């Protein structure tokens, strides 16, 4: 028998482990199952290169609860350890690693939440156990060893009569951790952390129906047998080659990841790179809710098929955190704080790689089946528009696939859009004027007017659209965006067949004076415009600049506080309308009521007439028709 003192200077390391890791006690199981997996895969390797002359077989890892004796067993059929190796790997190396870790992070670790991402390894067992035993038999021809440690730095190491190869870890669960003797708890943890680990994990048994015998009569009752309950899928889809997978495989994996999601993903992106860093995974574009409700199903981060976290902030570019799926990379440092993570070169590369892959995939989807891509546009645009704003590398590529839909259901790329409006929509400075609507219903009458002039009107209705427009304008010198209900009418050079004013210059001046006397100056700038006689006589528009600044300050990132803008509008009066002539010719008192009524009607169609004003308008209108 060997007894000894584990080689640490910090006598009270176990209380420290417990204290610091309080929030994530549960990771002990992940660590022990990881070790069992490592031991199995190491043996696989040794047998494959002929160094271990034993039969590898079909090894399984078993997790077993012994509730009566308050014990939890983790049993593997891996390479095992000799007594000497236990000394080396358990008593020295691992422990000093733990000590070093605790020394280093004593102060910062406590409330930073980073501890759970630490592979503290074997010693994490002491977070839940008051005593731990290792019974292990090496594949080498040496006797088995039995190591016991009760949480003090003292341990014992004696021979054991175990003959089968492999290691059994026995945890004597501490009184304050008895929940880890509950079947549902262990099942939950195995499902969370080990669902895709590469060696089969057995936990309990389940009933399986026997096939119905051929000579069974009508009264045959299905017979069941107990079979091993394997908790994991050792070969998850992301570990396979994209060439060996079809759409259905990807969809099936989505359901495996998110059993509670009934909506199918729109498309997926298979990540697969091994230089300069190693990363595999599958990302899915889900159908997103317009209001982006708090997301439960997030991207999951794995390392070598071991679940680590579903907080991928800093690793996945921010605009993609709404995606779902899996990323598996052993090259992401997990034992550091998030701010450090962002500065890490490898992590930045990974993030850039993901951005590039997503852009490439979008481009190929667009090229392969544009119609299908267009049909999905509404569901993906928020992510893409946000990506254009937040990720320069994505913005560079966006021109290839980002779409600008029109109110009548056409979809342009930016280049196509410029082409389409180049003949008809320029302003006095030669800039292309992009007209857009943010709400088809609310701006209906303005869309009609623009359509009558043959203008293209985009439908841009995402909440961040004013930011995007601002960016597009600053990057495309010859482009200016104007909402369809804003003051674009004087910006656009009139087409040749433009209407000539029916009013003489003198009459126009007269009309303008009349209008300016009646219409409140503080809110409206009166503007005369010869338009089709059938077009609305009075139209209210808002200066694009002013409205956009207001919107931007409301969706964040604006430079002004909310509500700092005066409500300024343009009142555009169609000089070719019958009403214009009527007003001009009417008596002074009639003029006033005509202008007021017409102004209110224009306000109504812009959704601006409310409250007291609306009541007065309705009352006045009844008077008129009585």
Which parts of this chain interact with ligand ADP (CB under 6 A)? 31, 35-36, 38-39, 76, 78, 80-81, 89-90, 94, 119, 121-122, 167
Instruction: State which residue, 29 or 489, has the beta carbon closest to Mg ion.
Output: 29
Minimum CB distance to Mg ion smaller for 196 or for 446: 196
Smaller CB distance to ligand ADP: residue 94 or 518?
A: 94
Q: Provide, rounded to whole angstroms, the least separation between the CB of residue 314 and ligand ADP.
A: 23
Choose among ligand ADP, Mg ion, none what residue 36 binds, the Cβ cut-off being 5 to 8 Å by kind. Answer: ligand ADP
Q: How far is the CB of 100 from ligand ADP (least distance, A)?
A: 12
Report 108-127 residues binding Mg ion (CB under 5 A).
121
Can you read off the two tokens belonging to residue 545? 């600049």
Place of tokens 């000799």: 82
177 binds Mg ion (CB under 5 A): no
According to DSSP, residue 89 is labeled I
Q: Residue 237's binding partner, choosing from ligand ADP, Mg ion, none, with beta-carbon cut-off 5 to 8 A by kind?
A: none
* Residue 492 contact, options Mg ion, ligand ADP, none, Cβ 5-8 Å cut-off depending on partner type: none
The answer to the question of residue 136 lying near Mg ion (CB under 5 A) is no
For position 194 contacting Mg ion by CB under 5 A, the verdict is no
What does 138 interact with, of ligand ADP, Mg ion, none (CB < 5 to 8 A by kind)? none
Report the C-alpha gap between 30 and 122 in whole angstroms: 10
SS3 sequence, 300-340?
EEEECCEEEECCCECCECHHHCCCEEEEECCCCCCCCCHHH
* CA–CA distance, 288 with 379 (Å, rounded to integer): 6
Q: How many whole angstroms separate alpha carbon 29 and alpha carbon 190?
A: 8
Greatest pairwise CA separation for the chain in angstroms: 118
Residue 39 C-beta: closest distance to ligand ADP, Å = 3
Q: Residue 409 CB, nearest distance to ligand ADP (Å)?
A: 57
Question: CB 80 → ligand ADP: shortest distance, Å?
Answer: 6
* Residue whose token pair is 């214009």: 580
Q: Looking at beta carbons only, is 93 or 245 nearer to Mg ion?
A: 93
What residue ranges in 488-605 does DSSP mark as E strands?
524-529, 538-541, 569-574
Strands 279-285 and 267-273: antiparallel
Query: What minimum distance in Å lies between the beta carbon of 31 and ligand ADP?
Result: 6
Which is nearer to ligand ADP, 56 or 377 (by Cβ)? 56
Structure tokens at 42: 């190491």
134/168 Cα distance (integer angstroms):
6
Long-range contacts of 39-48 (CB under 8 A, 24+ apart): 39/76, 39/78, 39/79, 39/80, 39/166, 39/167, 40/76, 40/77, 40/78, 40/79, 40/199, 41/78, 41/198, 41/199, 42/78, 42/79, 43/77, 43/78, 43/79, 43/139, 43/165, 46/79, 46/139
**Cβ closer to ligand ADP: 231 or 552?**
231
3-state secondary structure 338-374: HHHHHHCHHHHHHHHHHHHHHHHHHHHHHHHCHHHHH
Residue nearest ligand ADP, Cβ-based: 121
Restricting to residues 231-250, name those near Mg ion by CB under 5 A.
none
Min dist CB 14 to ligand ADP, Å, is 14
Asked if residue 555 lies in contact with residue 467, where contact means CB atoms within 8 angstroms, the answer is: yes
Q: Which listed option, Mg ion, ligand ADP, none, makes contact with residue 90 (CB within 5 to 8 Å by class)?
A: ligand ADP
Q: Are strands 300-303 and 2-5 parallel, antiparallel or unpaired?
A: unpaired
Q: How many Å apart are CA 38 and CA 19, to the nearest integer?
A: 28
Shortest distance (Å) from residue 141 CB to ligand ADP: 17
Decide: is 35 part of the binding site for Mg ion (CB under 5 A): yes
Q: Toward Mg ion, which CB reaches closer, 31 or 456?
A: 31
Strand partners, 541: 570
The residue among 91 and 280 lying less far from ligand ADP, judged by its C-beta, is: 91
Residue 39 binds which one of Mg ion, ligand ADP, none, with CB within 5 to 8 A depending on kind? ligand ADP
Q: Nearer Cβ to ligand ADP, position 81 or 388?
A: 81
Min separation Cβ 290 and Mg ion, Å: 45
Q: Which is nearer to ligand ADP, 76 or 456 (CB)?
A: 76
For residue 34, the minimal CB distance to ligand ADP (Å) is 7
Chain residues binding Mg ion by CB under 5 A are: 35, 121
């Amino acid at each position: 028998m060997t007894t000894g003192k584990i080689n640490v200077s910090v006598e009270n390391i176990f209380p420290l482990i417990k204290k610091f890791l309080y929030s994530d006690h549960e990771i002990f199981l992940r660590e022990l199952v990881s070790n069992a997996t490592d031991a199995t895969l190491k043996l696989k390797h040794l047998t494959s290169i002929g160094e271990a002359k034993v039969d590898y077989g079909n090894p399984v890892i078993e997790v077993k609860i012994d509730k009566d004796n308050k014990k939890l067993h983790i049993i593997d059929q891996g390479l095992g350890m000799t007594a000497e190796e236990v000394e080396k790997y358990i008593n020295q190396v691992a422990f000093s690693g733990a000590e070093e870790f605790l020394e280093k992070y004593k102060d910062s670790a406590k409330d930073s939440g980073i501890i759970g991402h630490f592979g503290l390894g074997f010693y994490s067992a002491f977070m839940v156990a008051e005593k731990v035993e290792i019974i292990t038999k090496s594949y080498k021809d040496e006797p088995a060893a039995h190591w016991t440690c009760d949480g003090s730095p003292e341990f014992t190491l004696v021979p054991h009569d175990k003959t089968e190869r492999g290691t059994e870890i026995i945890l004597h669960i501490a009184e304050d951790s008895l929940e880890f003797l509950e079947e549902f708890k262990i099942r939950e943890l195995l499902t969370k952390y080990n669902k895709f680990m590469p060696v089969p994990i057995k936990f309990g048994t389940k009933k399986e129906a026997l096939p119905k015998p051929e000579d069974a009569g009508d009264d045959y009752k299905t017979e069941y047998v107990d079979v091993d309950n394997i908790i994991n899928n050792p070969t998850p889809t992301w570990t396979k080659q994209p060439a060996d997978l079809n759409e259905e495989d990807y969809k099936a994996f989505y359901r495996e990841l998110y059993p509670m999601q009934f909506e199918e993903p729109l498309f997926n992106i298979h990540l697969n790179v091994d230089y300069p860093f190693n990363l595999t995974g599958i990302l899915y574009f889900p159908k997103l809710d317009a209001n982006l409700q708090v997301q439960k199903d997030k991207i999951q981060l794995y390392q070598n098929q071991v679940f680590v976290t579903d907080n991928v902030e800093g690793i996945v570019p921010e605009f993609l955190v709404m995606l779902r799926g899996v990323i598996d990379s052993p090259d992401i440092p997990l034992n550091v704080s998030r701010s450090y993570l962002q500065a890490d070169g490898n992590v930045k590369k990974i993030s850039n790689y993901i951005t590039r892959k997503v852009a490439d995939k979008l481009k190929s989807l667009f090229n392969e089946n544009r119609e299908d891509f267009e049909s999905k546009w509404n569901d993906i645009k928020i992510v893409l528009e946000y990506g254009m704003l937040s990720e320069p590398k994505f913005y560079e590529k966006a021109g290839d696939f980002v779409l600008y839909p029109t109110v009548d259901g056409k979809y342009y790329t930016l280049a196509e859009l410029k082409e389409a409006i180049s003949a008809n929509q320029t302003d006095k400075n030669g800039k292309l004027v992009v007209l857009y609507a943010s709400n088809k219903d609310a701006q209906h009458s303005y869309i009609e007017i623009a359509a009558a002039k043959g203008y293209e009107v985009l439908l841009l209705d995402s909440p961040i659209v004013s930011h995007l427009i601002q960016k597009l304008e600053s990057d495309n010198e010859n482009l200016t965006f104007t909402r369809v209900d804003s003051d674009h009418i004087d910006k656009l050079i009139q087409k040749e067949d433009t209407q000539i004013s029916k009013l003489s210059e003198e009459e126009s001046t007269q009309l303008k004076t009349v209008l300016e006397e009646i219409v409140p100056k503080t809110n409206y700038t009166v503007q005369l415009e010869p338009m089709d006689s059938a077009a609305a006589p009075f139209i209210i528009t808002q200066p694009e600049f002013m409205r956009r600044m207001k919107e931007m300050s409301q969706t964040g990132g604006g430079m002004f506080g909310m509500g700092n803008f005066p409500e300024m509008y343009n009142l555009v009066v169609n000089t070719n309308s019958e009403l214009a002539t009527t007003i001009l010719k009417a008596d002074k008192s009639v003029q006033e009521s005509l202008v007021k009524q017409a102004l209110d009607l224009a306000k109504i169609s812009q959704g601006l007439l409310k409250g007291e004003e609306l009541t007065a308008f309705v009352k006045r209108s009844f008077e008129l028709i009585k």
